[in-house]
Amino acid sequence: MKIWIDITNAPHVRFFKDLIHFFQDEGEDLIITSRDFGDIHKLMDMYGIDFISVGKHGVSLADKLKENTQRVNDLVDIIKDEKVDIALSKHSIELPRISFGLGIPSLYILDNEHAEAANKLTLPLCNRIIAPKIIDIWKLLGYGADPNKIIRYNGTSEILHFKSFKYNENIFKDLNLKITLPKTILMRPEPSLASYLDADCRKSVLSPVVDVLKDYANILILPRFKEQSAIFEGIENVTILKPPVDTSSIIKKCDLMIGAGGTMNRESAILETPIISCYPGVPLSVDQFYINQGLMFRLNETEEIINKALSLLVYPNTHKELKTDDLFNIIIENTYDMAKK
């Protein structure tokens, strides 16, 4: 069986890595494509994944459109003669469109109901869509998804990030981090280059939080791009992490996570590290899944974030059991089922 997987964002590398290794162990023929965006290439190399790099990320809407159009064109040249049996992606805009055009069955993993443009361009074209139960199905139908093609599960996509996770308790030492205070907080700035968030990449909602909490704890910042690094450079007790790094072990080692994004917040909830989400956009349903279970706190006012952070550093949450469906097997079973038809 020949499988095409398209990886277009850094968190998707962790999502697909165990699936890729499973299919390889089963002797399946894989074509893995990616684009030049963020830390995708570095993470692919770190996990030993061979890939073909096609296209890059656009900043303005016009740039995004041009890059998307060029990437579709280039990917068609690569895929058209490969006799692919099934195509897998997570929020890739190009793969469903190319698969539809070439008559390749596509399995699409979705977790962002607010990505309006991407969802309208992809969901009507997918053969099957795997989405968390927490997402309002009527929202997906509004984008043109066929209700008979939606497979729902209890949980979020991040549970797949830890199928083969091995915690490195010495991660701080291995990275030669300067840890001088008893407590350590990991912070992740907002995805200000994303099409679904109207944000200035030269600023961060975390800045006033850092200004106060740096006096109480070591602050580790994991920026998304160079401009975000510059925002936090030269601040006492603040260390800027340079990816790729073992973010999962870092999250688990830290006493608290404060995130203005999404993926690492949800990873923190799964790893039982107290997490405050200060994402500046409309919260996703997959975040609400963890908020409902008391594993994540959603705050946007600076003073509230600081007060809650100080409280959690002293009185961390007690562990709550997280029950989810087996997303790994859901994807495997649907992949083989679709390839047979």
Residue 319: alpha-carbon gap to chain centroid: 24
Report the pLDDT value the prediction gives residue 202, as an integer from 0 to 100: 61
Reduced to 3 states, what is the DSSP secondary structure of residue 282? coil
Q: What is the CA radius of gyration of the chain?
A: 20
Cα 338 to its chain centre, rounded Å, is: 25
Of residues 154 and 244, more confidently modeled: 154
As a whole number of angstroms, the distance between CA 267 and CA 271 comes to 6
Q: Is the pLDDT of residue 180 over 90?
A: yes
- Tens digit of pLDDT for each residue in 198-245? 555 566 889 999 999 999 999 999 998 777 788 898 899 999 998 889
Q: Are 92 and 6 in contact (CB under 8 A)?
A: yes
pLDDT tens digits, one per residue of 40-88 = 999 999 899 999 999 888 777 888 888 889 999 999 999 999 999 999 9
Predicted TM-score of the model (pTM): 0.88
User: 3-class SS at 30?
Assistant: strand
**How many residues appear in the chain?**
341
pLDDT of residue 197: 46
Task: Please give the backbone phi and psi of residue 249, each rounded to the nearest 5 degrees, phi first.
Answer: -65, -35
pLDDT for 201: 54
DSSP assigned state of 29: E
Query: For residues 276 and 257, is the Cβ–Cβ distance under 8 A?
Result: yes
Distance CA 311, CA 314 (A): 5
209: nearest Cα among 265, 253, 243, 260: 260
Residue 258's DSSP bridge partners are 187, 276
Label residue 317 by pLDDT band (50, 70, 90).
Answer: confident
Average pLDDT over residues 109-127: 94
CA angle 60, 11, 284 (to 5 degrees): 75
